[in-house]
């Protein structure tokens, strides 16, 4: 039962990633694309965590933490770029 739930959750997150990728490519404006990229990395974290649970490997949780930190820094850098400010202050 648990394995089936994990497979269903992985499929749902993968579908959410595809929808976010579609919005990233077809987004009508730059802020929409930034939000889609932010959603895409959050879905990536969820998928990495699900794989870590399925394989019972703790290293995937550390990978998820690294993806979260890099995604946050990337989102902040993109937002500062859109506002026209210097990225590195």
Q: Nearest CA to 19 among 10, 27, 28?
A: 27
63 close to 48: Cβ distance less than 8 angstroms: yes
The three-state DSSP-derived secondary structure of 59-89 is HHHHHHHHHHHHHHHHHHHHHHHHHCCCCCC
27-52 pLDDT per residue, tens: 899 889 999 999 999 999 999 999 99
In this predicted structure, what is the pLDDT of residue 15?
97
In this predicted structure, what is the pLDDT of residue 30?
87
pLDDT at 85 over 80: no
- pTM comes to 0.86
Q: Nearest CA to 78 among 41, 26, 48?
A: 41
In this predicted structure, what is the pLDDT of residue 87?
65
For residue 66, name the pLDDT band (cuts at 50, 70, 90): very high
């Amino acid at each position: 039962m648990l394995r089936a739930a994990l497979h269903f959750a992985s499929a749902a997150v993968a579908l959410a990633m595809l929808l976010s990728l579609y919005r990233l490519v077809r987004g009508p404006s730059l802020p929409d694309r930034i939000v889609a990229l932010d959603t895409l990395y959050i879905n990536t974290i969820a998928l990495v965590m699900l794989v870590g649970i399925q394989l019972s490997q703790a290293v995937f949780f550390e990978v998820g933490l690294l993806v979260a930190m890099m995604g946050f820094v990337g989102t902040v850098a993109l937002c500062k770029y859109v506002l026209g400010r210097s990225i590195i202050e």
